[in-house]
Structure 1
Amino acid sequence: MARMYPGIILRVLEGSIAEELGLVPRDKILAVNDMPLRDIIDFSFAMADEEIELLVEHANGEQELIAFDKDYDEDFGVEFEHAVFDGIRPCANHCYFCFVDMIAPDMRHSLSVKDDDYRLSFLYGNFVTLTNMGAADFSRIERYHLSPLYVSVQCTNPVLRAEMLRYKGAADILGQLAKLEAAGADYHTQVVLCYGLNDGEELERTIRDITARRPHALSLAIVPVGLTKHRSDSFPLVQFDREGAAHVIDQVEAWQERMRAEEGRTFIYLGDEFYFLAGREVPSAEMYDGFPQLDNGIGLTRNFIEEWVKAGAAMDEEDDEDDEARIAVVSGTAVAPVMEQLARELDPDARRIHVLPVVNEHFGATVNVSGLLTGHDIMQALNALTHEVDGVLIPASALREGEDVFLDDMSLDAMRESFPSVRIEPVATGRDYREALAAWGAYHRERPSGGYTWQSNAGYTKSAVS
């Protein structure tokens, strides 16, 4: 029999089949109908049967075979500690621009894990390079219909791609994409754009090659390289300046117009940072075609603004005021002007709402997004406030998924204990932001759990993003 990789139960949902069977957290699911499991993908397809034999190992080491019947589409009701039971497949590349290699030393181990696992790409939209894929992986993608995936292309020039990823096997990206297509998989793509390296004519070539792979290629996102003060790689990289960002926008806009003329959608999207750097307004919501790469930060600002507007239209006029609450809004420096503009709609004179752009001392000032702010940097900024506040809004993206913990392992509870007279609440969406500012007394958002769960009909979610 093949090796068994246990799926460790994190949480059993109330009223579920799993609860009726007496399963509890820390129980391990070893096999379903004699099928060993590698991940929740295997688990999902095995559990599609109506007659189930479940091999379980309890905390005391005792194994039990549990037989039961269920409806085909009936949820089992467990969340797992990990989505992949046999371990995350690591990245073997050494990319010039790898952000994981720029993490500060002595941070928690999980931040230094370079995953390059096609299963996490399918399940949660993680980008993979395809450089560690073999024939068995493509066969499994075809057998389980694992589509779409998310692929880090970087460039389609084979020599340049092998150089940028520092791996000879990275050269044949177009061949790898062809294998995905043969396996029946569609894919979203990404380019991490490095000034003077894969931009200009190389970007033109990449766009041309990827757009030619439609309809299997679903979208192309282009994001600027991010550099922290902890980068030690000897290869010289520089960040885009105002002029360089403007040039990229102009180049891509020509392609966007062409794509919309051809098929009525934009297809190619730029990271918000390009617009911030160039001092230009982010595109309209229509240009993002339903935000297919929102989790990649593409269109995040426009989506936030759209949610703000919709929330305002839905709120009663009497709920649109809370003149007593003085609120500090914590933000990364890049998006702070947008947060300021929205706040001024409710508080034109800046009498009670104060946007607090926080400089990222931990990673370096050039890292200006809200999601990479640390607890200590936020606390330092709050301690420097010269006026009293009743509440503080912090970006939910700065907290670990499913847990109230910042990147530097400071907990939200610890931050709250340091400011006992101030209520601190996370904000995830434009709707949250509007409701918090307009009706602070009633605002509160529960943070979701961080477990990985199976759903019926081979649907997958990470409960932390629901």
Structure 2
Amino acid sequence: MAAKITGIVMGSPAEKSGIKTGETVLEINGIPIVDYLDYMYASCQEEAEVKLENRTVRIFNEDYLPLGMEFSTLLIDAPKSCHNKCIFCFIDQLPRNMRQTCYFKDDDYRLSFLQGNYVSMTNMKDADVERILRYHLPRLNVSVHTTDPQLREYMLHNRRAGEVLSYLRRFVDGGINLNAQIVLCPGVNDGAALDKTIGDLGSLGDCMESVSIVPVGLSDHREGLADLKRFDRSSARDVIEQVTLWQEKFLKERGTRLVYLGDEFYIMAQMPLPEYEAYEDFPQIENGVGLCASLEYEYCQALKETKSRLPAKSKTVATGKIACKFIEHLIGMLEGNKIDVVPVENRFFGENITVTGLITGGDLVQQLQDRKLGEEVLISEAMLQHENPIFLDDMTVEEVERALGVPVRAVPNDGYALLEALLQ
């Protein structure tokens, strides 16, 4: 894919050097520009010789500013797709007739660096590893799941899944920081297998920055897929006890807990969530690890700074079933009784999917349309496509508003924003 320029940032070194929209970049400082990593690496020089299709432009960039060229896609190149058939893959559990982009599985180390995506490494080759080391990417997020080679081959249904675990050591030896993720499946990679995985990852040293453990999510659309179990209160408690011992060990030896559990485990186990400080710098909050603790901390800080705790209008907060009691707890800190919290059952994916981010517009309409909603409905912005007011079932916020007859406001996962939305 050619690195065709689709925009030039005003005042940037590229604009000052006369580079125009529509031109194609072939090389910078002798490095062929195949994707955005090449562009970033080649641009980090005081002087950049940019070879375009029909001319060569020399850019003097003493302040090491971004050159200011924009391209049609983030990567420039096409994203790398996943080569696995994971027994727990949620994309394989999607209903039919969703928009086509929902079914694309990326497994691209470049998106791991640029956007924080998690990669399995199974479509990587030695040349990719060498490139990561040469460019010295500061951090990669890796979907590990288990460090047992045979078990990993089974879980990912990929014969390379076990052998590419050696890449972790190469990255660490090269100074690349890592975050690891484990999707935990009862009876598969838990118990002794989980102990081995945590121990192996911990032995990689300081470059292994964090390990998150999240429970497998199982929708109602698993025809022909592996027979997996769900966590219940008892099994969730077992995992918490097991991981707590590791956290205490790492905290004593390394000054960090290193391994963290998704909030769902504590809610399923009906156990108190860890304190805010227990998540340290919240390294994997995007994985649902510490979301509740962060939200509550910010919310309480915002409460201390506000003059009134009385909502001016009656409103409805629509949330996933698993977060309902937690949201009720936060709203209980306010005065009056103007806020109604409604747990929305996930009929689109199945009642066993209880997280807020997978609620669809259709489920909101079906379960809210006959209720008194007040002046406004508040939802989490996690329900919507990134930077686009569209739910997973392709309903828009505007369509939901028309069906419900009240405004719908998407609120960020931020305690200050939540309190502001409740009190406005």
TM-score by length of 2: 0.92
1:376 to 356, 359, 362: 362
Q: Using CA pairs under 8 Å that are at least 6 residues apart, name the structure with larger relative contact order, 1 or 2.
A: 1
Do residues 332 (structure 1) and 332 (structure 2) align? no
Contact 1:329 1:354 in 2 (8 A): yes
* Counterpart secondary structure, 1:366: coil
Match of 1:313 in 2: 304
State the one-letter code of the partner of 2:244.
E
Distance 2:420 2:237 in 1: 34
1:184 to 172, 175, 191: 175
Do residues 345 (structure 1) and 341 (structure 2) align? no
Contact 2:212 2:284 in 1 (8 A): yes
Match of 1:42 in 2: 38
What are the superposed Cα offsets for residues 376-405 of structure 1, whole Å, 9 maximum, x if unpaired?
1122222131x2411111111111112222
2:3 to 6, 11, 33: 6
Contact 1:333 1:359 in 2 (8 A): yes
Match of 1:171 in 2: 162
Report the CA distance between 1:423 and its aligned residue. 5.0
Label 1:294 to 1:30 Cα distance change in 2 as closer, same or farther (>3 A).
Answer: same
Report the CA distance between 1:411 and its aligned residue. 2.0
* Counterpart secondary structure, 1:346: coil
Match of 1:276 in 2: 267
Contact 2:13 2:59 in 1 (8 A): no
Do residues 109 (structure 1) and 83 (structure 2) align? no
Report the CA distance between 1:412 and its aligned residue. 2.2
Report the CA distance between 1:171 and its aligned residue. 1.4
- RMSD over equivalenced CA pairs, Å: 2.4
Q: Percent of pairs identical after alignment?
A: 36
Report the CA distance between 1:114 and its aligned residue. 1.2
Report the CA distance between 1:66 and its aligned residue. 5.5
Contact 2:177 2:208 in 1 (8 A): yes
Label 1:52 to 1:211 Cα distance change in 2 as closer, same or farther (>3 A).
Answer: closer
Match of 1:426 in 2: 411
Match of 1:446 in 2: none
Distance 1:328 1:64 in 2: 60
What are the superposed Cα offsets for residues 124-179 of structure 1, whole Å, 9 maximum, x if unpaired?
22111111221111111111111321111111111111111111211135422112
State the one-letter code of the partner of 1:47.
S
Within 5 Å, which residues of 2 pair with 1:406-421?
406-419=391-404, 421=406
* Counterpart secondary structure, 2:332: helix
Report the CA distance between 1:267 and its aligned residue. 0.7
Label 1:224 to 1:8 Cα distance change in 2 as closer, same or farther (>3 A).
Answer: farther
Report the CA distance between 1:201 and its aligned residue. 1.1
Label 1:67 to 1:381 Cα distance change in 2 as closer, same or farther (>3 A).
Answer: farther
State the one-letter code of the partner of 2:42.
A
Unpaired segments ≥5 residues, structure 2: none
Do residues 366 (structure 1) and 352 (structure 2) align? yes
Contact 1:333 1:370 in 2 (8 A): yes
* Counterpart secondary structure, 2:160: helix
Do residues 292 (structure 1) and 283 (structure 2) align? yes
Contact 1:396 1:427 in 2 (8 A): yes
* Counterpart secondary structure, 2:145: coil
Within 5 Å, which residues of 2 pair with 1:386-425?
387-419=372-404, 421-425=406-410
Report the CA distance between 1:182 and its aligned residue. 3.2
TM-score by length of 1: 0.84
Distance 2:5 2:382 in 1: 27
Label 1:15 to 1:130 Cα distance change in 2 as closer, same or farther (>3 A).
Answer: same
Distance 1:168 1:158 in 2: 9
Distance 2:277 2:420 in 1: 25
Unpaired segments ≥5 residues, structure 1: 58-62, 441-466
State the one-letter code of the partner of 1:403.
N
2:194 to 196, 203, 206: 203
Label 1:300 to 1:233 Cα distance change in 2 as closer, same or farther (>3 A).
Answer: farther
